[in-house]
Structure 1
Amino acid sequence: MPNDKASAAALRRALDIIRDSKGTGTLIFGRADTPEDRLYIGRQRVYDEGRDLKVISWHAPAAAPFYTATVDDPRGLVLKRTIIEEERRVVRLIDEIVAAASSDAPDLTPSTFGDALLAELERSRDGAMRDVIATIQAEQYRIIRSAAEGTVVVQGGPGTGKTVVGLHRAAWLAYNVESLRRTGMLVVAPTPNLLTYISAVLPLLGVSDVMQIHLPALYGGSAVVGRVERWESDRTKGDASMAEVLRRALSDRVDRDPGDVTFTVGADRITIPAASMRDVVADALSRDLAHNDVRDVLRQTLAQVAHSSYLAHQREMGRPAVATASTIRRLNTITNLLDRVWPRFTPEELLRGLYGTQSWLVSACDGVLTVDQRAALYRAPENALSEERWSVADIFCLDELSHLLDGPPVSYGHIVVDEAQDLSPMQARSLSRRCPTGSFTLLGDLAQATGPWVRDTWDELLLHVAPPSHIVEELSIGYRVPATTLDLAARQLGYIAPGLTAPRSIRPGRNDPSVRHAPAEVLGSRLAGLVGSLLADSLSTAVVVDDTDFDRWDAELTTLDVPHGDGRAGDFSSACTLVPASLAKGLEFDAVVLVEPAKIVESSPHGRRVLYVAMTRCTHELHVLHTLPLPSGFSDLIDHPADDDATSVVDGPGWDPVPDAAPPAPAPDSDDALRSRVMSDLGRLSPHDLTLVAALVERLATPTERLDHP
């Protein structure tokens, strides 16, 4: 169990959800037949009384055909059977004959994928991620079995299963790579909320010796996270140049020329010449040790130099030498000298002092940061160190200082990092220190980057976290998010990541996404009614709101008697969970109700990316509820002022909306009339909106980059 309270609490919440949910984990879930043999596949090996192997474990090499057989390449199988269990009872057997001719599946359609997978995808979510060992797909299995050496980057859009691939890879490596059982493995989630959601997977797979923590818990010091920084400060503190600033700041505290040093032993006054002191400090600076470790060496050296000076003085005076080197080492004069020449710090003490001292900042930042960047670092210290509250970006500055002051942290043989696209260079350095071999699995989606570090490629991040040996694997098939929802969300890619292609979803979903308008005074009651209908259909539901509105909607849902979990605190045990948009990443619910998407877009420099993430958290249904005008990307959805009007997004060219109880459609405008109306509408837009419209028109006018259906 992790030492930090947040990670430990997240693991307990996840296990509670698993205990309260259906099923206990299938022991045997698969059977693979060849013309000559039959294999049963399960979570672990099973022997009979005579020690004959009856069930092979899913991560054994012999189980590979069960996962890799395709229509084009059945891998010698004539039958693949998946066993579906609930509450320790077999409820369904699904037989898939995988030796069919490839001509039976010419394109990517739901029939390309096994019935077992489709049945699993229709299962309702219950607040914790599950293992998928019975339904791992071939492209996922190939990544899971990648060699442990070097770094594997798994780039995957919403619903492609990148997180579950990373967790199953950790279990596979733990089983198959003996050296990792000695050196240890680590799984890192960005937040305690996401850790709660994912942390039950490895225990379900029988893996108990892989540490799981959230990212800030990498630093084991006393700092308490409780400060929200301005974007400029986060960006400055997360940049790799901050490592040089911190190194300089520590170096500035060393007195390289302390001058003559005089101390007394009894009635004698002894002087260590300035030249000798410079040599002592220079020797300390040459040591390849952490700062605080050098201080211990320096104490010994100073004591020896002082004792030699004492002996020389006594000989010169014709007196016997009484004091030993040990006696001199314990003198207050030596301790005070050591504090002046080579002071001891905790990371918190040093960083607090640096942030609050302008002259120190100027010296440490000179030639490294701009004046504005340096200004973003300054803050007045609290009255006491214990009262300081630190931002997440501060935590990784503290971790860098901990390395400089006290040496390398505990290391691991392999580290799996979820949502790696949001890592700052300083966070990447922190991870790299904990895995010197560079054996990483980095999971992420560049389009879902929502922090200060938005990237077009993985190259820059890999410079900080991994050696040159790395591969980038892309998951192209969406298993979780319904096709119509994913296509609607993919409109945002034109604004946030035009170089990326949205995954192709294999699922139609229960219903098309819907958009409902309501006046502000009834928005809450409309939300309560919609949530009630979703819960009545036994759909786990997330109400996703802008962060600034979280407290308001928490209070309003309580007033309207809508039971809900607090997603901000990581409580996913209720059928309905209120989730701030910034924390929705990585989560998964049957249904998502997105409230006021325009506020989400406007809330941060990367609000449109946050919206893209929020729209893709559902496995069955997406509903949009709003009073404010919809942001671009929804522009062709009709916005009606009437309370009960709703727009249902349908699959087809142009995404023509179908309003409930719509009046007869008027005759289409002529080209001239339509052009005139569009020009009139453009005249009412703000400069910012005009820029967005211009970008959209340019993309729509380019046939190879059309955002709608072909």
Structure 2
Amino acid sequence: MPENVLEAERAHLAVARAALTSMREHAESLSADAAGDWVSQQVLQGLLDQRVAALADHRDTPLFFGRLDRDAGDDLPSTIYVGRRHVHDDNSRALVIDWRAPVSRAFYQAGPADPMGVALRRRFGYQGGDLTAYEDEPLDGRQLGESRLLAEEIERPRTGPMRDIVATIQPDQDEIVRSGLDVTVCVQGAPGTGKTAVGLHRAAYLLFTHREKLSRHGVMIVGPNRAFLSYISSVLPALGEVKVDQTTLAGVLGDHSFPEDPIRAALKGDVRMATVLKRALWLHVTKPEEGVLYTKGINRYRVADHEVREIVASLRGTVRYAPGRESLAQRLAHAVLVQMERRGESPDDRTQAAVARSASVKRVLDAAWPKLTPEQVLFRLLSDAAFLSRAARSDLSPAEQETLLWDKPTKSYRSAKWSAADAALLDEIAGLIERIPSHGHVVVDEAQDLSAMQLRALGRRCRTGSATVLGDLAQGTTPWSARSWTTVLEHLGQPSGEVTELTMGFRVPREILDYAARLLPSVAPELAVPRSLRPGAGSLTVRHAPDAAAALPDAVRQAAERDGSVGVIVADSAVAAVSAALAGVPHAVLGAESPGRERVLVVPAGLAKGLEYDHVIVLEPADIVAAEDRGLARLYVVLTRAVTSLTVLHSRDLPDQLTI
């Protein structure tokens, strides 16, 4: 009987929950005192704390979402429950298998053509962490129908932050998630294809599969803004991964936000700046005008100026700037020690260190190879026209050099105000001066919006590792938005990365996606038109009103009567006025730093990328288009944030593409 089956499965869930509680209690009982010294105790305690956090039982989700009945002739159990983490009983018997384990792959990949040793796949429906239904899929060669439970889970209302998708990962998504650590994957994903979730689940998979290596080198998630990070913040912890650095580009490069002309910012983001900055740094290394005279007691040791020039020439450009300066000091000291040995002395390492720190050597260093900070170099480049000309040579035209120069002179690099584009330039110089540590894996979301110099900065963070690059060329909204993923991977320093495309949407209803896709010929004509599995009949309403702002409160109230979140997306400049117009409707305004977890949110169009709401109301699309050069791309982003219904409310004429 079905009800008896469901009761049996609920009983297994209860046993698994009790076992997880026991595992957590055991982890909490362990002590770091057994470690030999204080440092070891702190390290061990940190690992124990992570283990305890990873064993948290999230009561709003079940421990397992699927089951495999296997007929493969191996040593593995014939029945396997697939869930978000591994759970075993006191006898080490597996009650739930982690979705990332190799045997769990069949839950996502098995089908009639290749059952992968599985006789039956069972999916579970749940509500608030309790099992409410199940659905069996026999893998005996019969054609499978559409999964009702899978569709219900995909269409479940989106109140609150992003959820994990472990129960609904599709075969093409699973292939990306399980890509090896040594592979950089670039995912071109249309709206609603789950590219962000795929990137996060790949990070979780790699942490599970390469735990030791990635625990040393780390995994970093880079999102477009803090609101986006807040939206995705619950995904990895729900999968048991609590030690992942989730940050923004400003968090990586420094929060420099001085406003800047878009034309100048775009030029600073051009890859040619890398060559200009390298020259600017090394122009500070000059030919020495004097040699080294080191005095010890009554003895004097001289390194002639031509010898010093030869040493400088041999080092210049072959090493990073700071190690090169240190090597110069050591080589000059070595030249002095050679003279000491010729005179019958026996200098040791302490003598060489003393010579390297001496005033005579320091004088030569400061003159020929001065100590520099990135701010000093960039300040000189942007404030000294003659120096900029020497560094730029023919790479930048005179007009471009004039564009780069600051309009108003600044007295010192210490008082300079840096822009977001400057942050990438400062990081480029920092990487030329000193080696920047690399992560084991970096996930970059909305990568199409990053400049070449920003991509180079992130590339330095995965120089010895790999990356997952996520984005949609059609959603590029910055002046330097990418037109090719091949170019993006080259700038990132991962030219051999694999580009894959997700075109099948699961979240955005077809009627809405088809409407938004009318903009594609204007914003990204080379991309395939996305498709959606969800018909969504009646999900789109385009409404003209003589006074759209006055009609907005009623539209919001109607949307709020339905289950799920409501996003009112407007041009950035209209946020304050729209919020005032909604004074009688409970709501909040999404900010760059705010979590945005209220049910009704007024969302600036500039922050909408990557977010999803059950019901979206777009006010005056024409204003959103007019606000920026790539306004049609911004509108494409805005129109594809809805996962249940979209209402376009306007008084002004719609863009021509939407009136067809």
Cα 1:327–1:41 shift into 2, 3 Å: closer
Which among 185, 203, 209 is matched to residue 243 of structure 2?
Answer: 209
Query: What is the Cα deviation at residue 586 of structure 1?
Result: 0.9
| Aligned pairs for 1:119-134 within 5 A | 119-134=152-167
Letter in 2 for 1:405: I
Alpha-carbon distance in structure 2 between the residues aligned to 1:539 and 1:476: 25
Query: What is the Cα deviation at residue 335 of structure 1?
Result: 3.6
The C-alpha deviation readout for 1:656-694, integer Å capped at 9, x for no partner, is xxxxxxxxxxxxxxxxxxxxxxxxxxxxxxxxxxxxxxx
Q: TM-score if structure 2 supplies the norm length?
A: 0.82
Q: 1:54 matched to which residue of 2? A: 95
The C-alpha deviation readout for 1:624-683, integer Å capped at 9, x for no partner, is 1222211112224xxxxxxxxxxxxxxxxxxxxxxxxxxxxxxxxxxxxxxxxxxxxxxx
Query: What is the Cα deviation at residue 242 of structure 1?
Result: 0.8
Cα 1:71–1:115 shift into 2, 3 Å: farther
Which among 608, 612, 618 is matched to residue 632 of structure 2?
Answer: 608
Q: Is 1:531 aligned to residue 565 of structure 2?
A: no
The C-alpha deviation readout for 1:480-516, integer Å capped at 9, x for no partner, is 0011000000000111112212221111337331122
Query: What is the Cα deviation at residue 255 of structure 1?
Result: 1.8
| Aligned pairs for 1:450-469 within 5 A | 450-469=477-496
Between 1:238-247 and 1:294-303, the stretch displaced more is 294-303
Q: 1:632 matched to which residue of 2? A: 656
Q: Do the aligned partners of 2:61 and 2:130 also contact (CA within 8 Å) in 1?
A: no
Q: Is 1:295 aligned to residue 338 of structure 2?
A: no
Alpha-carbon distance in structure 2 between the residues aligned to 1:67 and 1:492: 34
Q: TM-score if structure 1 supplies the norm length?
A: 0.76
Q: 1:697 matched to which residue of 2? A: none
Q: Is 1:115 aligned to residue 148 of structure 2?
A: yes
Alpha-carbon distance in structure 2 between the residues aligned to 1:266 and 1:356: 46
Q: 2:613 matched to which residue of 1? A: 589
Q: Do the aligned partners of 2:557 and 2:585 also contact (CA within 8 Å) in 1?
A: no
Cα 1:139–1:331 shift into 2, 3 Å: closer
Q: Is 1:42 aligned to residue 83 of structure 2?
A: yes
Q: Is 1:406 aligned to residue 437 of structure 2?
A: no
Query: What is the Cα deviation at residue 54 of structure 1?
Result: 2.5
Q: 1:394 matched to which residue of 2? A: 422
Between 1:598-607 and 1:83-92, the stretch displaced more is 83-92
State percent identity of aligned pairs.
38
The C-alpha deviation readout for 1:154-207, integer Å capped at 9, x for no partner, is 121000011111111111122123544444322222322222212321111011
Query: What is the Cα deviation at residue 38 of structure 1?
Result: 2.4
Q: Do the aligned partners of 1:353 and 1:381 also contact (CA within 8 Å) in 2?
A: no
Q: Is 1:156 aligned to residue 192 of structure 2?
A: no
Instruction: Let me know the Cα RMSD of the aligned residues.
Output: 3.1
Q: Is 1:200 aligned to residue 234 of structure 2?
A: yes
Alpha-carbon distance in structure 2 between the residues aligned to 1:547 and 1:373: 30
Q: 1:673 matched to which residue of 2? A: none
Letter in 1 for 2:519: Q
Q: 1:419 matched to which residue of 2? A: 446
Alpha-carbon distance in structure 2 between the residues aligned to 1:413 and 1:311: 47
Which among 207, 213, 229 is matched to residue 174 of structure 1?
Answer: 207
Alpha-carbon distance in structure 1 between the residues aligned to 2:592 and 2:332: 54
Query: What is the Cα deviation at residue 96 of structure 1?
Result: 3.9
Which among 169, 175, 180 is matched to residue 136 of structure 1?
Answer: 169
Cα 1:594–1:261 shift into 2, 3 Å: same
The C-alpha deviation readout for 1:387-424, integer Å capped at 9, x for no partner, is 433222221111111111122x1212222221222232
Alpha-carbon distance in structure 2 between the residues aligned to 1:267 and 1:78: 92
Alpha-carbon distance in structure 2 between the residues aligned to 1:326 and 1:154: 52
Q: 2:591 matched to which residue of 1? A: 567
Cα 1:310–1:45 shift into 2, 3 Å: closer
Alpha-carbon distance in structure 1 between the residues aligned to 2:600 and 2:409: 41
Which among 421, 437, 442 is matched to residue 469 of structure 2?
Answer: 442
Alpha-carbon distance in structure 1 between the residues aligned to 2:628 and 2:644: 28
Letter in 2 for 1:188: V
Letter in 1 for 2:194: G
Secondary structure in structure 1 of the residue aligned to 2:527: coil
| Aligned pairs for 1:255-266 within 5 A | 255-259=286-290
Q: Do the aligned partners of 2:292 and 2:305 also contact (CA within 8 Å) in 1?
A: yes
Secondary structure in structure 2 of the residue aligned to 1:33: strand
Q: Is 1:547 aligned to residue 572 of structure 2?
A: yes
| Aligned pairs for 1:663-682 within 5 A | none
Q: Do the aligned partners of 1:116 and 1:135 also contact (CA within 8 Å) in 2?
A: no
Q: Do the aligned partners of 1:347 and 1:398 also contact (CA within 8 Å) in 2?
A: yes
Secondary structure in structure 2 of the residue aligned to 1:135: coil
Query: What is the Cα deviation at residue 568 of structure 1?
Result: 3.2
The C-alpha deviation readout for 1:123-144, integer Å capped at 9, x for no partner, is 1112311111111111211221
Q: Do the aligned partners of 2:438 and 2:465 also contact (CA within 8 Å) in 1?
A: no
| Aligned pairs for 1:365-384 within 5 A | 365-379=392-406, 380=408, 382-383=410-411
Alpha-carbon distance in structure 2 between the residues aligned to 1:556 and 1:365: 52
Query: What is the Cα deviation at residue 606 of structure 1?
Result: 1.2
- For structure 1, the residue ranges without an aligned partner over 5 or more in a row are 1-21, 105-111, 316-323, 637-710
Which among 357, 364, 368 is matched to residue 341 of structure 1?
Answer: 368
Query: What is the Cα deviation at residue 273 of structure 1?
Result: 4.6
Cα 1:356–1:101 shift into 2, 3 Å: same
Q: Do the aligned partners of 1:155 and 1:472 also contact (CA within 8 Å) in 2?
A: yes
Q: Is 1:188 aligned to residue 222 of structure 2?
A: yes
